[in-house]
Amino acid sequence: MTDGQIKTIPIKDYLKSREIHPAKEYSGYGMYRSPFRDEDTPSLKVDYNRNLWFDFGSNEGGSIIDLVMKLEKCPFIEAIEHLKKFSLMPVKGEEHSFSFHRGPVADKEKTNGITLIEEKPLEHPKLLEYLQSRKISLDIAREHCREIHYKAGERNYFALGFGNDAGGFALRNPQFKGCLSPNHITTVERKTGTVLLFEGFIDYLSLITIQPEKANISAVVLNSVNNLEKALPFLSKHSSINVYLDNDDGGKRTLEKLKGLDYPVKNCSSFYAQSKDLNDHICRHSIPKKPIQKRKKGLGI
């Protein structure tokens, strides 16, 4: 098994083998009481679709390999060997052994001219500086984004990665805006009557930075206005749709499509009517934050 294949071993199954079960389960993810400390309120989130975890108590997260390294207090190589052995163990309550299968993360490794090299917790100073320049909370970004290293042509790059419902990533850095296929929408299920609609994830992160309470409301990030049709089934479940689209032709056409379909939309773009989008408005009106200290050497974007 390669490192990429090992990352597709379900975190939920691994935790179950250690008698660690979700305290609460929602659509696509579970909340666990952290195995790293005693707590009454669950603070460890496991995203079943993306097979990633995030500990809100320590602001740490990552793949199943990162989790095993922390749980077993072992280095990377030992965690790999531990998971290889786990993949051959019988699953409790079942007659057959765990069998490896390619999940959505592995399926996207080579697509649309971009090759995935590595995904990891968000930590590169250049990306953190970029987020600060866009006035986005680093804690919120770490919760929702990954650091993606990829190859395009003969060169290596890195970018913010925002996972979508099909296992792909929307990619963003100061010089590039694109995706690691498959391109799809990202839904955030909060079981609320209202849903927030965005074109890109930078605007979504911007809103919950300035209004943290909005993180408790269901949301859809299109990752491209061309993905509107994919979002309609999820949008139709809600009694109110608060729309935060760009103030351009694409955003206006998308809003008109929703109105034409008689969806219960509320256009929130008046809040940033003089700007191209929500993040642009926030950057124009927010107080700059203290910059991160630059490291002497690093990969270029």
Domains in the chain (CATH in brackets) are: 3-104 (3.90.580.10), 110-301 (no CATH)
* More confidently predicted of 109 and 79: 79
Asked if residue 109 has pLDDT above 80, the reply is no
> Given pLDDT bands bounded at 50, 70 and 90, which one contains residue 195?
very high
pLDDT for 3 equals 61
Asked if residue 295 has pLDDT above 70, the reply is no
pLDDT for 94 equals 41
CA distance 58 to 292: 20
Average pLDDT, the chain: 84
> Given pLDDT bands bounded at 50, 70 and 90, which one contains residue 89?
low
CA distance 285 to 287: 7
Share of the chain above pLDDT 70, in %: 85
pLDDT for 257 equals 93
Asked if residue 99 has pLDDT above 60, the reply is no
Asked if residue 167 has pLDDT above 90, the reply is no
Mean pLDDT over 170-199 rounds to: 92
Asked if residue 102 has pLDDT above 60, the reply is no
Mean pLDDT over 173-190 rounds to: 90
CA distance 80 to 78: 5
pLDDT for 4 equals 67
Mean pLDDT over 35-53 rounds to: 89
pLDDT for 88 equals 65
The mean-pLDDT minimum among 7-16, 80-89, 90-99, 182-191 falls in 90-99
Helix (H) and strand (E) counts for the chain? 11, 16
Pairing label, strands 44-47, 52-55: antiparallel
CA distance 285 to 282: 5
What own/partner pairs with CB < 8 Å and gap ≥ 24 does 233-237 have?
Answer: 234/185, 234/187, 234/195, 235/195, 235/197, 235/263, 236/263, 237/195
> Given pLDDT bands bounded at 50, 70 and 90, which one contains residue 181?
confident
The mean-pLDDT minimum among 34-48, 191-205, 256-270, 284-298 falls in 284-298
pLDDT for 140 equals 94
pLDDT for 182 equals 86
pLDDT for 59 equals 80
